[in-house]
Amino acid sequence: MTANFDTELETRLVRYAAIDSQSDERGTASPSTTIQLDMARLLAEELTGIGAADVQVTDYGAVLATVPATAEGPVVGFLAHVDTAPAFNATGVKPVVHRRYNGGTISFADAPGLVLSLEVSPYLGGKLGHDIITASGTTLLGADDKAGVAILMTMARHLLADPSIPHPKLRLAFTPDEEIGRGVDKRLPADLGADFAYTLDGGQVGEVEYESFSADGAVVKITGVSAHPGYAKGKLVNALHLAAKLVNLLPQQALVPELTDGREGFLHLYEITGTAAEAELRFILRDFELDGLEAKGALLRQACEALAATEPRATVACEIRAQYRNMRYWLEKDMTPVNLARAACEAEGIAPVSVPIRGGTDGSRLTEMGVPCPNIFTGMQEIHGPLEWISVQDMAAATRVCLRLAGMAVRG
Protein backbone atom coordinates (compact mmCIF):
# COMPACT_ATOMS: atom_id res chain seq x y z
CA MET A 1 0.00 0.00 0.00
CA THR A 2 1.60 3.24 -1.14
CA ALA A 3 -1.06 5.77 -0.12
CA ASN A 4 -0.09 8.29 2.55
CA PHE A 5 -2.80 8.53 5.17
CA ASP A 6 -0.96 10.63 7.76
CA THR A 7 -2.76 13.93 7.26
CA GLU A 8 -6.23 12.42 7.17
CA LEU A 9 -5.60 10.30 10.27
CA GLU A 10 -4.21 13.25 12.22
CA THR A 11 -7.14 15.46 11.24
CA ARG A 12 -9.69 12.82 12.14
CA LEU A 13 -8.17 11.93 15.51
CA VAL A 14 -7.80 15.57 16.55
CA ARG A 15 -11.43 16.22 15.61
CA TYR A 16 -12.80 13.09 17.27
CA ALA A 17 -10.71 13.39 20.45
CA ALA A 18 -12.08 16.87 21.17
CA ILE A 19 -15.61 15.43 21.49
CA ASP A 20 -16.48 14.31 25.02
CA SER A 21 -17.90 10.79 24.81
CA GLN A 22 -17.11 9.12 28.13
CA SER A 23 -19.19 6.16 29.21
CA ASP A 24 -20.53 5.75 32.76
CA GLU A 25 -21.08 2.37 34.37
CA ARG A 26 -23.77 3.87 36.59
CA GLY A 27 -25.79 4.91 33.58
CA THR A 28 -28.79 2.66 33.01
CA ALA A 29 -29.64 3.64 29.42
CA SER A 30 -28.01 2.33 26.25
CA PRO A 31 -25.70 4.00 25.59
CA SER A 32 -24.87 4.80 29.18
CA THR A 33 -24.32 8.52 28.39
CA THR A 34 -26.13 10.60 25.81
CA ILE A 35 -22.92 12.40 24.85
CA GLN A 36 -21.76 9.24 23.10
CA LEU A 37 -24.52 9.86 20.60
CA ASP A 38 -22.75 13.08 19.58
CA MET A 39 -19.95 10.91 18.20
CA ALA A 40 -22.38 8.40 16.75
CA ARG A 41 -24.33 11.01 14.80
CA LEU A 42 -21.15 12.66 13.53
CA LEU A 43 -19.82 9.33 12.25
CA ALA A 44 -23.14 8.46 10.61
CA GLU A 45 -23.10 11.81 8.81
CA GLU A 46 -19.49 11.33 7.69
CA LEU A 47 -20.15 7.77 6.52
CA THR A 48 -23.08 8.94 4.44
CA GLY A 49 -20.93 11.74 3.04
CA ILE A 50 -18.20 9.36 1.83
CA GLY A 51 -20.71 7.05 0.17
CA ALA A 52 -21.10 4.18 2.64
CA ALA A 53 -24.26 2.09 2.37
CA ASP A 54 -26.75 0.96 5.03
CA VAL A 55 -25.71 3.70 7.45
CA GLN A 56 -27.70 3.64 10.67
CA VAL A 57 -27.49 4.52 14.34
CA THR A 58 -29.13 1.66 16.20
CA ASP A 59 -31.41 2.16 19.17
CA TYR A 60 -28.59 0.81 21.37
CA GLY A 61 -26.23 3.51 20.14
CA ALA A 62 -24.00 1.68 17.67
CA VAL A 63 -23.24 3.09 14.22
CA LEU A 64 -23.38 0.49 11.44
CA ALA A 65 -22.42 0.86 7.79
CA THR A 66 -21.40 -1.14 4.74
CA VAL A 67 -18.55 -0.76 2.30
CA PRO A 68 -20.05 -2.68 -0.67
CA ALA A 69 -18.07 -5.55 -2.14
CA THR A 70 -16.01 -5.16 -5.28
CA ALA A 71 -15.08 -8.86 -5.27
CA GLU A 72 -16.39 -12.10 -3.80
CA GLY A 73 -15.42 -13.22 -0.34
CA PRO A 74 -16.61 -13.54 3.24
CA VAL A 75 -18.27 -10.61 4.96
CA VAL A 76 -15.58 -9.02 7.13
CA GLY A 77 -16.43 -6.78 10.07
CA PHE A 78 -14.31 -3.99 11.51
CA LEU A 79 -15.11 -2.39 14.86
CA ALA A 80 -13.94 0.48 17.06
CA HIS A 81 -15.58 2.03 20.09
CA VAL A 82 -16.58 5.66 20.44
CA ASP A 83 -16.56 5.92 24.24
CA THR A 84 -13.56 6.94 26.30
CA ALA A 85 -12.63 5.57 29.70
CA PRO A 86 -14.33 6.96 32.81
CA ALA A 87 -11.12 6.36 34.76
CA PHE A 88 -9.80 9.90 34.13
CA ASN A 89 -11.09 13.30 33.05
CA ALA A 90 -12.08 13.43 29.37
CA THR A 91 -13.98 16.72 29.30
CA GLY A 92 -12.35 19.54 27.36
CA VAL A 93 -9.74 17.44 25.57
CA LYS A 94 -7.27 19.63 23.67
CA PRO A 95 -5.20 17.42 21.35
CA VAL A 96 -1.64 18.57 20.71
CA VAL A 97 0.49 17.41 17.76
CA HIS A 98 4.24 17.19 18.49
CA ARG A 99 5.84 17.10 15.06
CA ARG A 100 8.90 15.01 14.16
CA TYR A 101 9.62 13.68 17.65
CA ASN A 102 13.30 14.20 18.46
CA GLY A 103 13.76 11.64 21.22
CA GLY A 104 13.52 14.04 24.17
CA THR A 105 10.86 14.59 26.78
CA ILE A 106 7.40 15.82 25.86
CA SER A 107 5.83 18.49 28.08
CA PHE A 108 2.19 19.46 28.49
CA ALA A 109 0.88 23.00 28.17
CA ASP A 110 -1.79 22.69 30.85
CA ALA A 111 0.25 20.61 33.34
CA PRO A 112 3.80 21.98 33.60
CA GLY A 113 4.88 19.26 36.03
CA LEU A 114 3.80 16.43 33.75
CA VAL A 115 6.45 14.83 31.53
CA LEU A 116 6.28 12.07 28.94
CA SER A 117 9.69 10.47 28.59
CA LEU A 118 11.42 7.31 27.45
CA GLU A 119 11.68 6.24 31.08
CA VAL A 120 7.91 6.42 31.44
CA SER A 121 7.09 5.06 28.00
CA PRO A 122 10.01 3.18 26.40
CA TYR A 123 7.99 2.60 23.22
CA LEU A 124 8.64 6.27 22.37
CA GLY A 125 12.24 5.33 21.66
CA GLY A 126 11.24 3.76 18.36
CA LYS A 127 9.30 6.79 17.16
CA LEU A 128 12.03 9.25 16.19
CA GLY A 129 10.73 11.52 13.43
CA HIS A 130 7.12 10.53 14.03
CA ASP A 131 4.29 12.96 14.70
CA ILE A 132 3.11 12.31 18.25
CA ILE A 133 -0.35 13.31 19.47
CA THR A 134 -1.08 13.88 23.16
CA ALA A 135 -3.66 15.80 25.14
CA SER A 136 -2.72 19.03 26.95
CA GLY A 137 -2.10 17.45 30.37
CA THR A 138 -5.38 17.65 32.29
CA THR A 139 -7.34 15.01 30.35
CA LEU A 140 -6.77 11.72 28.66
CA LEU A 141 -6.43 11.91 24.88
CA GLY A 142 -9.05 9.35 23.93
CA ALA A 143 -6.95 7.56 21.32
CA ASP A 144 -8.51 4.57 23.07
CA ASP A 145 -10.39 4.12 20.88
CA LYS A 146 -10.82 7.16 18.68
CA ALA A 147 -7.62 6.13 16.94
CA GLY A 148 -9.46 2.97 15.91
CA VAL A 149 -12.38 5.10 14.75
CA ALA A 150 -10.06 7.32 12.68
CA ILE A 151 -8.33 4.30 11.13
CA LEU A 152 -11.58 2.64 10.06
CA MET A 153 -13.06 5.86 8.72
CA THR A 154 -9.90 6.47 6.69
CA MET A 155 -9.93 2.91 5.35
CA ALA A 156 -13.60 3.22 4.38
CA ARG A 157 -13.11 6.57 2.67
CA HIS A 158 -10.17 5.19 0.67
CA LEU A 159 -12.05 2.09 -0.52
CA LEU A 160 -15.24 3.96 -1.35
CA ALA A 161 -13.28 6.53 -3.37
CA ASP A 162 -11.71 3.81 -5.55
CA PRO A 163 -14.07 0.97 -6.51
CA SER A 164 -11.28 -0.67 -8.52
CA ILE A 165 -9.69 -1.95 -5.27
CA PRO A 166 -10.83 -5.58 -4.81
CA HIS A 167 -12.34 -6.43 -1.44
CA PRO A 168 -15.35 -8.36 -0.15
CA LYS A 169 -18.29 -6.77 1.63
CA LEU A 170 -17.09 -4.94 4.73
CA ARG A 171 -19.30 -4.14 7.69
CA LEU A 172 -18.28 -1.33 10.01
CA ALA A 173 -19.47 -0.93 13.59
CA PHE A 174 -18.70 1.91 15.98
CA THR A 175 -19.90 0.84 19.41
CA PRO A 176 -20.63 2.69 22.66
CA ASP A 177 -19.83 1.63 26.23
CA GLU A 178 -16.88 -0.67 25.50
CA GLU A 179 -14.95 0.76 28.42
CA ILE A 180 -17.63 -0.35 30.88
CA GLY A 181 -18.08 -3.80 29.35
CA ARG A 182 -21.35 -3.11 27.54
CA GLY A 183 -20.11 -2.50 24.01
CA VAL A 184 -21.70 -5.57 22.44
CA ASP A 185 -25.47 -5.47 22.63
CA LYS A 186 -27.10 -8.88 22.21
CA ARG A 187 -28.46 -7.67 18.86
CA LEU A 188 -25.09 -6.60 17.45
CA PRO A 189 -23.87 -9.96 16.05
CA ALA A 190 -26.97 -10.32 13.87
CA ASP A 191 -27.02 -6.63 12.96
CA LEU A 192 -23.33 -6.73 12.00
CA GLY A 193 -23.83 -9.77 9.78
CA ALA A 194 -20.13 -10.58 9.48
CA ASP A 195 -18.52 -14.00 9.03
CA PHE A 196 -15.66 -12.79 11.18
CA ALA A 197 -14.46 -9.41 12.39
CA TYR A 198 -11.63 -7.37 13.90
CA THR A 199 -11.53 -4.75 16.60
CA LEU A 200 -9.09 -1.88 16.09
CA ASP A 201 -8.27 -1.43 19.77
CA GLY A 202 -4.68 -2.58 20.28
CA GLY A 203 -1.36 -0.99 21.13
CA GLN A 204 2.04 -1.41 19.55
CA VAL A 205 2.58 -1.91 15.84
CA GLY A 206 2.19 -5.54 14.81
CA GLU A 207 -0.13 -6.64 17.60
CA VAL A 208 -2.66 -9.25 16.49
CA GLU A 209 -4.28 -10.40 19.69
CA TYR A 210 -6.49 -13.43 20.15
CA GLU A 211 -6.29 -13.93 23.92
CA SER A 212 -7.81 -11.64 26.53
CA PHE A 213 -8.56 -11.69 30.22
CA SER A 214 -11.72 -13.31 31.45
CA ALA A 215 -13.48 -10.69 33.52
CA ASP A 216 -16.04 -10.30 36.27
CA GLY A 217 -17.24 -7.17 38.07
CA ALA A 218 -18.19 -7.06 41.74
CA VAL A 219 -20.13 -4.64 43.93
CA VAL A 220 -19.99 -4.94 47.73
CA LYS A 221 -22.63 -2.98 49.66
CA ILE A 222 -22.12 -2.50 53.39
CA THR A 223 -25.04 -1.24 55.46
CA GLY A 224 -24.19 -0.11 58.96
CA VAL A 225 -26.30 1.46 61.67
CA SER A 226 -26.72 5.23 61.58
CA ALA A 227 -26.80 7.28 64.78
CA HIS A 228 -26.15 10.83 65.92
CA PRO A 229 -22.40 10.95 66.57
CA GLY A 230 -22.90 12.77 69.86
CA TYR A 231 -25.00 9.91 71.21
CA ALA A 232 -23.58 7.03 69.18
CA LYS A 233 -21.94 4.93 71.87
CA GLY A 234 -23.16 1.38 71.59
CA LYS A 235 -25.38 2.28 68.63
CA LEU A 236 -23.36 3.44 65.62
CA VAL A 237 -22.00 0.86 63.22
CA ASN A 238 -19.83 2.82 60.78
CA ALA A 239 -20.05 1.41 57.27
CA LEU A 240 -16.92 3.28 56.19
CA HIS A 241 -14.89 1.68 58.99
CA LEU A 242 -16.16 -1.71 57.87
CA ALA A 243 -15.20 -0.88 54.29
CA ALA A 244 -11.67 -0.13 55.45
CA LYS A 245 -11.56 -3.45 57.31
CA LEU A 246 -12.68 -5.26 54.16
CA VAL A 247 -9.86 -3.68 52.16
CA ASN A 248 -7.40 -4.85 54.82
CA LEU A 249 -8.77 -8.39 54.61
CA LEU A 250 -7.89 -8.54 50.91
CA PRO A 251 -4.40 -9.10 49.47
CA GLN A 252 -2.23 -5.97 49.45
CA GLN A 253 1.12 -7.46 48.41
CA ALA A 254 -0.15 -9.71 45.64
CA LEU A 255 -3.08 -10.09 43.24
CA VAL A 256 -3.36 -6.33 42.67
CA PRO A 257 -2.78 -4.61 39.29
CA GLU A 258 0.26 -2.65 40.40
CA LEU A 259 2.09 -5.87 41.34
CA THR A 260 1.06 -8.18 38.49
CA ASP A 261 1.95 -8.58 34.84
CA GLY A 262 2.25 -11.22 32.13
CA ARG A 263 -0.29 -13.95 32.71
CA GLU A 264 -1.04 -13.02 36.32
CA GLY A 265 -4.59 -12.03 37.19
CA PHE A 266 -5.75 -9.62 39.87
CA LEU A 267 -8.51 -8.39 42.17
CA HIS A 268 -8.79 -4.62 41.80
CA LEU A 269 -10.69 -2.22 44.05
CA TYR A 270 -11.28 0.87 41.92
CA GLU A 271 -13.99 2.85 43.71
CA ILE A 272 -15.34 3.44 47.23
CA THR A 273 -18.34 5.66 47.89
CA GLY A 274 -20.64 6.13 50.82
CA THR A 275 -21.31 7.45 54.30
CA ALA A 276 -21.13 6.12 57.83
CA ALA A 277 -24.56 4.59 57.20
CA GLU A 278 -23.83 2.82 53.93
CA ALA A 279 -20.77 2.22 51.77
CA GLU A 280 -20.23 0.69 48.34
CA LEU A 281 -17.02 -0.84 47.01
CA ARG A 282 -16.55 -1.70 43.33
CA PHE A 283 -14.06 -4.28 42.10
CA ILE A 284 -12.95 -5.85 38.87
CA LEU A 285 -11.69 -9.45 38.84
CA ARG A 286 -9.38 -10.60 36.06
CA ASP A 287 -7.67 -13.84 35.09
CA PHE A 288 -6.78 -15.62 31.87
CA GLU A 289 -8.30 -18.88 33.10
CA LEU A 290 -11.79 -19.45 34.45
CA ASP A 291 -10.65 -21.37 37.52
CA GLY A 292 -8.37 -18.46 38.44
CA LEU A 293 -11.23 -16.03 37.96
CA GLU A 294 -13.49 -18.14 40.16
CA ALA A 295 -10.81 -18.28 42.83
CA LYS A 296 -10.64 -14.50 42.97
CA GLY A 297 -14.41 -14.29 43.31
CA ALA A 298 -14.28 -16.85 46.12
CA LEU A 299 -11.57 -14.81 47.86
CA LEU A 300 -13.75 -11.69 47.78
CA ARG A 301 -16.80 -13.56 49.04
CA GLN A 302 -14.80 -15.10 51.89
CA ALA A 303 -13.53 -11.68 52.94
CA CYS A 304 -17.09 -10.34 52.94
CA GLU A 305 -18.28 -13.27 55.03
CA ALA A 306 -15.44 -12.78 57.50
CA LEU A 307 -16.26 -9.08 57.78
CA ALA A 308 -19.96 -9.79 58.36
CA ALA A 309 -19.06 -12.22 61.14
CA THR A 310 -17.26 -9.44 63.04
CA GLU A 311 -20.34 -7.20 63.17
CA PRO A 312 -23.77 -8.94 63.13
CA ARG A 313 -25.61 -5.62 63.20
CA ALA A 314 -24.28 -4.76 59.73
CA THR A 315 -25.16 -6.33 56.41
CA VAL A 316 -22.50 -7.09 53.82
CA ALA A 317 -23.81 -7.98 50.35
CA CYS A 318 -21.46 -9.13 47.58
CA GLU A 319 -22.68 -9.35 43.99
CA ILE A 320 -20.40 -10.67 41.24
CA ARG A 321 -21.45 -10.56 37.59
CA ALA A 322 -19.79 -11.86 34.43
CA GLN A 323 -18.38 -9.27 32.04
CA TYR A 324 -16.49 -11.10 29.26
CA ARG A 325 -14.48 -14.26 28.68
CA ASN A 326 -11.10 -15.04 27.15
CA MET A 327 -11.65 -15.05 23.39
CA ARG A 328 -8.89 -17.64 23.02
CA TYR A 329 -11.36 -20.36 24.05
CA TRP A 330 -13.14 -19.94 20.71
CA LEU A 331 -10.48 -18.52 18.39
CA GLU A 332 -8.00 -21.32 19.00
CA LYS A 333 -10.55 -23.70 17.42
CA ASP A 334 -10.27 -21.83 14.12
CA MET A 335 -7.33 -19.45 13.73
CA THR A 336 -8.27 -18.35 10.19
CA PRO A 337 -9.06 -14.70 11.13
CA VAL A 338 -5.92 -14.48 13.25
CA ASN A 339 -3.71 -15.95 10.55
CA LEU A 340 -5.20 -13.62 7.93
CA ALA A 341 -4.35 -10.58 10.08
CA ARG A 342 -0.84 -11.89 10.68
CA ALA A 343 -0.36 -12.41 6.95
CA ALA A 344 -1.58 -8.86 6.28
CA CYS A 345 1.01 -7.50 8.72
CA GLU A 346 3.76 -9.51 7.07
CA ALA A 347 2.69 -8.29 3.63
CA GLU A 348 3.17 -4.74 4.93
CA GLY A 349 6.63 -5.56 6.26
CA ILE A 350 5.46 -5.64 9.88
CA ALA A 351 6.33 -8.52 12.19
CA PRO A 352 3.10 -9.73 13.83
CA VAL A 353 3.10 -10.06 17.61
CA SER A 354 0.49 -12.00 19.58
CA VAL A 355 0.54 -11.49 23.32
CA PRO A 356 -2.31 -11.90 25.83
CA ILE A 357 -4.30 -8.70 26.33
CA ARG A 358 -4.33 -7.66 29.97
CA GLY A 359 -7.83 -6.38 29.43
CA GLY A 360 -10.65 -7.06 27.03
CA THR A 361 -12.23 -5.71 23.86
CA ASP A 362 -15.60 -5.80 22.17
CA GLY A 363 -14.04 -8.71 20.32
CA SER A 364 -14.00 -10.76 23.51
CA ARG A 365 -17.78 -10.58 23.74
CA LEU A 366 -18.38 -10.87 19.99
CA THR A 367 -16.23 -13.99 19.81
CA GLU A 368 -18.11 -15.52 22.73
CA MET A 369 -21.38 -14.70 20.91
CA GLY A 370 -20.35 -16.45 17.70
CA VAL A 371 -18.48 -13.86 15.61
CA PRO A 372 -14.72 -14.62 15.71
CA CYS A 373 -13.06 -11.26 16.39
CA PRO A 374 -9.35 -10.85 17.16
CA ASN A 375 -7.84 -7.45 17.91
CA ILE A 376 -5.48 -5.37 15.74
CA PHE A 377 -3.07 -2.61 16.77
CA THR A 378 -3.68 1.13 16.48
CA GLY A 379 -0.52 2.46 18.16
CA MET A 380 -2.19 3.85 21.32
CA GLN A 381 0.03 4.04 24.41
CA GLU A 382 -0.29 4.98 28.12
CA ILE A 383 -4.06 4.86 27.83
CA HIS A 384 -6.60 5.92 30.48
CA GLY A 385 -4.49 8.76 31.82
CA PRO A 386 -2.97 12.17 31.03
CA LEU A 387 0.19 10.68 29.46
CA GLU A 388 -1.77 8.94 26.70
CA TRP A 389 -0.15 9.34 23.30
CA ILE A 390 -0.11 7.91 19.80
CA SER A 391 2.03 8.14 16.68
CA VAL A 392 0.30 9.26 13.49
CA GLN A 393 2.61 6.99 11.54
CA ASP A 394 1.61 3.99 13.67
CA MET A 395 -2.02 4.73 12.86
CA ALA A 396 -1.11 4.84 9.18
CA ALA A 397 0.54 1.43 9.48
CA ALA A 398 -2.67 0.04 11.00
CA THR A 399 -4.70 1.55 8.14
CA ARG A 400 -2.48 -0.14 5.56
CA VAL A 401 -2.76 -3.47 7.39
CA CYS A 402 -6.57 -3.24 7.40
CA LEU A 403 -6.62 -2.46 3.69
CA ARG A 404 -4.25 -5.31 2.99
CA LEU A 405 -6.36 -7.64 5.10
CA ALA A 406 -9.53 -6.68 3.22
CA GLY A 407 -7.80 -7.40 -0.08
CA MET A 408 -6.45 -10.74 1.11
CA ALA A 409 -9.97 -11.80 2.16
CA VAL A 410 -11.09 -11.85 -1.46
CA ARG A 411 -12.05 -15.43 -2.36
CA GLY A 412 -9.54 -17.04 -4.71
Distance CA 48, CA 65 (A): 9
pLDDT of res. 411 = 83
Cβ atoms < 10 Å from Cβ of 14: 19
Distance CA 155, CA 165 (A): 12
Cβ atoms < 10 Å from Cβ of 24: 17
pLDDT of res. 202 = 95
* Domain assignments of the chain as residue spans, ordered by start: 6-212+326-408, 221-324
pLDDT in tens, 336-378: 999 999 999 999 999 999 999 999 999 999 999 999 999 999 9
Query: What's the predicted TM-score (pTM) here?
Result: 0.92
Residue 144 marked ligand-binding: yes
CATH 3.40.630.10 fits 6-212+326-408, yes or no: yes
Distance CA 57, CA 310 (A): 52
Query: Which residues, in sequence order, are CB contacts of 232 under 8 Å at separation 6+?
Result: none
Whether the domain at 6-212+326-408 and the domain at 221-324 fall into the same CATH topology: no
What does each C-alpha distance from 121 to 287, 305, 344, 351, 399 come to in angstroms? Answer: 25, 41, 27, 21, 23
Q: CB of 156 within 8 A of CB of 53?
A: no
The residue type at 306: A
Catalytic residues: 83, 178
The residue type at 81: H
pLDDT in tens, 212-236: 999 999 999 999 999 999 999 999 9
In CATH, the architecture of 221-324 is 2-Layer Sandwich (3.30)
Residue 59 marked ligand-binding: no
Residue 201 marked ligand-binding: yes
